[in-house]
Amino acid sequence: MEITKILLKKLLAHPSNSNRMSAERFGKLVGHLERSGCYEPLVVRECSRRAGFYQLLNGHHRKAALEKLGYESADCLVWRGSGGEALMLLATLNRLSGEDDPARRGELLKELSVRFDRESLLKSLPEKRRQLEKLLEVSRPVQLAEPGWVGQMPQAMTFFVDGEQKETVEKALRVVRQEVGGELREQGPKRGELLAVMAEKFLAIDS
């Protein structure tokens, strides 16, 4: 395959492309291209029925992002193969990929967090805020708790209720959340904290 610059208006979307990207991720892709100008070359093949035109096999979203930023051409890998091989390439390029190891991903994000502020990372990375926080937590070394702090560590509680009881508990949680102002914060109190508030209120009434 050879890399060549091709006018974006000469690149046609493959009618069988099934890859879709959310508006949020597309916005991050546009932002990345705008800041860095770097992107993986698009994979195309020559159109058999339209001379001078090419069919996109991989890079539909990159093409759209480049167009949004005012680019007129893009670096492309020109792939030569049959129509059947092109369909196989279309089906595999967007689907076959490795998976991030959470610990290694966390270490990578930790290094980035030293160089970039949190908001900049959220604008560029595919992770949402809570995902980013969790991955950064994974990268932190485990700290042993001092004996005196064991009682303050989170404790698991498991109990079972029927459907009607569950609805009652959920309604009560919503009421308590509104009362403590959790909905006004980006990350409100957790359900366990709300249950503790409910218990404290009951004990206060009982006393």
144: in domain: no
Tell me, yes or no, whether 10 and 84 share the same domain: yes
Burial of 150 (0-12, 13-18, 19+ CB in 10 A): exposed
82: in domain: yes
What's the CA gap between 38 and 177, in Å, rounded?
45
Q: In 10 A of CB 192, how many CB atoms?
A: 12
Tell me, yes or no, whether 85 and 7 share the same domain: yes
Q: Are residues 103 and 138 in contact, defined by beta-carbon separation less than 8 angstroms?
A: yes
Tell me, yes or no, whether 77 and 115 share the same domain: no
- Tens of pLDDT, residue by residue, the chain (207 residues): 678 999 999 999 887 777 788 888 899 899 989 988 888 899 998 888 889 999 888 889 999 999 999 999 999 999 886 677 767 766 666 554 455 677 777 787 888 888 888 888 887 787 888 888 887 776 665 455 555 545 555 667 777 878 888 888 888 888 888 777 654 444 556 777 788 888 887 777 655
CATH number of the domain within which 18 lies: 3.90.1530.10
150: in domain: no
Tell me, yes or no, whether 71 and 34 share the same domain: yes
pLDDT computed for residue 186 by the predictor: 45
Tell me, yes or no, whether 122 and 83 share the same domain: no
Split into its structural domains, the chain has a count of 3
User: Distance from first CA to last CA of the chain, Å, rounded?
Assistant: 79
- Beta strand segments in the chain, E: 2-7, 11-12, 42-46, 54-58, 73-78
Tell me, yes or no, whether 89 and 110 share the same domain: no
pLDDT computed for residue 94 by the predictor: 57
Tell me, yes or no, whether 82 and 106 share the same domain: no
Backbone angles phi, psi at 31, to 5 degrees: -60, -40
pLDDT computed for residue 8 by the predictor: 96
SS3 8: helix
Across the strands, what pairs with 173?
Answer: none
Helix (H) or strand (E) holding 172: helix 163-180
Tell me, yes or no, whether 53 and 72 share the same domain: yes
163: in domain: yes
Tell me, yes or no, whether 64 and 116 share the same domain: no
Tell me, yes or no, whether 115 and 135 share the same domain: yes
In the chain, % helix, strand, coil (3-state, to 5) comes to 55, 10, 35
Q: Which domain holds residue 117?
A: 102-139
pLDDT computed for residue 102 by the predictor: 76
113: in domain: yes
What's the CA gap between 88 and 14, in Å, rounded?
12
13: in domain: yes
SS3 40: coil
Instruction: Record the tokens describing residue 146, joined without a space.
Output: 């001092």
